[in-house]
Structure 1
């Protein structure tokens, strides 16, 4: 049974460790040596092993370990290490503190290789936060960035721009969805070129895009919106199915004290007000302004 237990732990990439207190003498099973890519049964010096942790993980480990020893509690921590051979890995540490007569005498637990788990999680996160067509931020990522911009609005002045492509349906209907996807990708590239310092650029869905950028005044917001509108005017396809694509832009300042939904609604109202006036327009909040053609 013990052999089966050992094999199961090894298959799960789980090793056992202990550290006596207060002399900080470490003992590892072979699996922990393998995790750190150290020679099995080689001498262990805690300072040297802790140095293999990435700086932020090392800081967190020091913090939670000290608290556990002080309070007699255990902890679980996901930490990133650089092995003795220079490979990056993620490990999960679980720890329990043993006390005798109220004094901590030993801290021990398990260390598990969770690199594959972290890699999969990161892939899933990137998929969730990235629009698959344009490579821009997804609506999910945008919502997070927008909430952060609203929260920080008392100290950092930002603005929201909403963009709707004109004639995109015609591109899809006449040139096909492949051409439509390329049109969306081209729009994303053009928006990035027009606002290289933007905090976030996202495709919200369909032919709608959003930008969050630093903006000190309505005048600078107007200038940014004009740059975007000017950049988003180009031709797609070829004769006789050559179509002109342009964009309507609605914008609003992100002001302190305003709720995120109200700021978004301001920009949305500006966008639909200018769309009602025709193609290739922009508006700041409720003040639409006609943009001269740049064709």
Structure 2
């Protein structure tokens, strides 16, 4: 009896409950801990159809498939299941199931359920931290690189382009006003960039004052318009009692060709970005693309609002 009490207390402390379902009448039996998971009073009458409706639709489909297969084959399963409890609370439970047979027929399916809500919440927070730039809230470089690789490896999902943007004048903000002002400048830049490309698949901060955009693109002319919006939208003045600091942006863009390596696509956009900076900053250039994708676009600089055609590369 003492060992049984220790066993029950240990399971309760670990947020683990025991369950069983008799076959074929579908009668459910739970320990008190499982009732707690579903926000039901212990010993509440259980109807399996009503309980199954507490699982989210996606989890319900998975559970039914795994359960049917287990009853058919005798192989158990483990499933992380999402539920909305009787009181409307979202919760995650890990279901472990085994099947008991008699005379070649499944007579009982049983196992344990464990509350893993805290684990799922922590994992989601870690995923969010890994995928988001903490300062600006934009996508992180890690997630950007993953997404770019996925785009380059996909076929038939519409033409897309990569735009790289560097702030012009950011060093003056840090040197003159300090790092807090520099951080504020980057936050403003992130908001302005997001507003300039509302239809982007992804907007990321990939370095100190370096940003990247992956955007739908129907033609080189379309890409030129997108790049021009970025340059225009990320142009503002920081006013201080001592001086005014003008922030501008240089952009290099390249059409994403499926099958070409992400490294090569990035290098093409980065190369023309460097050319913009070398030519005076505050403008954009578009890298040539293979004829099998989209025709190469003119490389263009914007100087004080006037467009200057620099020719094809």
2:303 match: 292
1:193 match: 195
3-state SS, counterpart of residue 205 of structure 1 = coil
**C-alpha displacement of 1:109:** 0.6
Q: Is the 8 A contact 1:142 1:202 kept in 2?
A: yes
Q: Is the 8 A contact 1:74 1:97 kept in 2?
A: yes
Q: Work out the CA distance in 1 between the residues paired with 2:205 and 2:260.
A: 23
1:8 match: 10
CA-to-aligned-CA distance 1:162-199 (integer Å, 9 cap, x gap): 01111211211111001101110111111111101111
1:216 match: 218
Q: Is the 8 A contact 1:15 1:110 kept in 2?
A: yes
Pick one of 143, 157, 169 that aligns with 1:167: 169
Matches within 5 A, 1:31-110: 31-110=33-112
Coordinate RMSD, CA, aligned: 1.5
Mark the runs of 5 or more structure 2 residues left unpaired by the alignment.
Answer: 289-297, 307-313
How many residues are matched? 295
Q: Work out the CA distance in 1 between the residues paired with 2:203 and 2:252.
A: 15
Pick one of 268, 271, 283 that aligns with 2:270: 268
Pick one of 116, 119, 126 that aligns with 1:117: 119
**C-alpha displacement of 1:116:** 1.2
Mark the runs of 5 or more structure 1 residues left unpaired by the alignment.
Answer: none
3-state SS, counterpart of residue 291 of structure 1 = strand
Q: Is the 8 A contact 1:167 1:244 kept in 2?
A: yes
3-state SS, counterpart of residue 173 of structure 2 = helix
2:260 match: 258
Q: Does 1:126 align with 2:137?
A: no
**C-alpha displacement of 1:202:** 0.5
CA-to-aligned-CA distance 1:26-74 (integer Å, 9 cap, x gap): 1111111111111211221111100000111111111111122222111
TM-score (norm 2): 0.90
Q: Is the 8 A contact 1:75 1:94 kept in 2?
A: yes
Q: Is the 8 A contact 1:281 1:288 kept in 2?
A: no
TM-score (norm 1): 0.96
Q: Work out the CA distance in 2 between the residues paired with 1:167 and 1:219.
A: 28
Q: Work out the CA distance in 2 between the residues paired with 1:202 and 1:153.
A: 23
Q: Is the 8 A contact 1:175 1:237 kept in 2?
A: no
3-state SS, counterpart of residue 278 of structure 1 = coil
After TM superposition, where is structure 1 displaced by more than 4 Å over at least 4 residues in a row? none
**C-alpha displacement of 1:239:** 4.0
